[in-house]
């Protein structure tokens, strides 16, 4: 099967144009659209692909051409209705499901095997951290700055909470920059495609929720030493005795800043924090 729907004609048939005020920019570059499904890992299971934000169906069409089954979540009622009409045959054949609603509120299908999506940038972080725990490969479009922070290594200027949190679930790679002209209307920022390939981290954490909360807390004061960051953010991390954590940790680590710590360092610190700094109710 090959994709046949032209993105500009889909916009015309739907009778819509993008609305920057609603974070609505339609991907219309056919070359980029054709490439997106190919960025999934070669061994990816394509039996059920999830798309967040189907819009007028330009990417949906490409996913149907390369996957067995597709589920689309679209929050705009008019666009959801258009998708149902435009892809009526695929829906009748059981190959497409259209879910109307907000991807941050609707239950995600539990049997998806991958996700390929052009995400609304305003909620891209929240949606990403709903997708990553599913443990499936993803190909996602982001604002370029966000994409580079997501894939950054420790010790670089882009490295931060996003890098550690995303890397906890998957290997992250920026696979293609995308110019504003690929969208209608063009956004005011550069974009980029990111591939995430799920894998277990090379460290262990006793409490994943606490680990991610601890990372978030320390990075809120990334310009301070880790010692001061731990002490100053106990209200975020939930530490009852941050001084006990500081005393238990290596002095060399406490003298660094958050951006200099590797994910493994954060795992060690989070373990010490759980052991020494969390009260009976933590």
**Measured distance CA(260)–CA(111) in Å, rounded:** 38
Structure tokens at 81: 């209705």
Is position 53 annotated in a ligand binding site? yes
Is position 74 annotated in a ligand binding site? yes
Which of these, 101, 107, 147, lies nearest to 124 by C-alpha position? 147
Q: Is the peptide bond before 185 cis (omega within 30 degrees of 0)?
A: yes
Note whether 248 and 272 are within 8 A (CB). Answer: yes
Is position 168 annotated in a ligand binding site? no
Structure tokens at 40: 């999934």
Strands 170-178 and 191-198: antiparallel
**Measured distance CA(26)–CA(79) in Å, rounded:** 12
Is position 23 annotated in a ligand binding site? no
Is position 68 annotated in a ligand binding site? no
**Measured distance CA(277)–CA(280) in Å, rounded:** 10
Structure tokens at 251: 């002095």
**Measured distance CA(181)–CA(154) in Å, rounded:** 32
Is position 212 annotated in a ligand binding site? no
Structure tokens at 218: 């320390």
Residues annotated in a binding site: 25, 27, 53, 74, 102, 118
Residues annotated in a binding site for S-adenosyl-L-methionine: 25, 27, 53, 74, 102, 118
């Amino acid at each position: 099967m090959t994709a046949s729907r032209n993105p500009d004609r889909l916009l015309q048939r739907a009778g819509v144009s993008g609305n920057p005020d609603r974070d609505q920019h339609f991907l219309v570059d056919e070359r980029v659209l054709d490439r997106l499904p190919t960025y999934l890992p070669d061994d990816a299971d394509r039996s059920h692909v999830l798309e967040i934000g189907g819009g007028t169906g330009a990417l949906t069409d490409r996913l149907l051409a390369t996957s067995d089954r597709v589920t689309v979540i679209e929050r705009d009622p008019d666009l959801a209705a258009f998708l149902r009409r435009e892809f009526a045959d695929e829906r009748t054949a059981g190959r497409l499901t259209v879910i109307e609603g907000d991807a941050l509120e609707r239950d995600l299908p539990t049997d998806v095997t991958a996700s390929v999506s052009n995400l609304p940038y305003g909620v891209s972080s929240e949606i990403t951290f709903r997708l990553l725990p599913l443990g499936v490969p993803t190909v996602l479009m982001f604002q370029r700055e966000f994409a580079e922070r997501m894939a950054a290594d420790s010790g670089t200027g882009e490295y931060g909470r996003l890098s550690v949190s995303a890397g906890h679930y998957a290997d992250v790679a920026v696979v293609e920059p995308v110019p504003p002209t690929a969208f209608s209307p063009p956004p005011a920022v550069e974009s980029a495609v990111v591939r995430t390939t799920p894998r277990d981290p090379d460290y262990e954490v006793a409490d994943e929720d606490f680990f991610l909360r601890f990372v978030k807390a320390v990075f809120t004061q990334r310009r301070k030493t880790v010692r001061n960051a731990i002490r100053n953010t106990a209200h975020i991390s939930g530490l009852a005795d941050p001084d006990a954590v500081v005393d238990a940790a290596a002095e060399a680590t406490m003298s660094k800043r958050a951006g200099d710590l590797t994910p493994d360092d954060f795992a060690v610190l989070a373990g010490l924090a759980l052991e020494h700094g969390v009260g009976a109710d933590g």
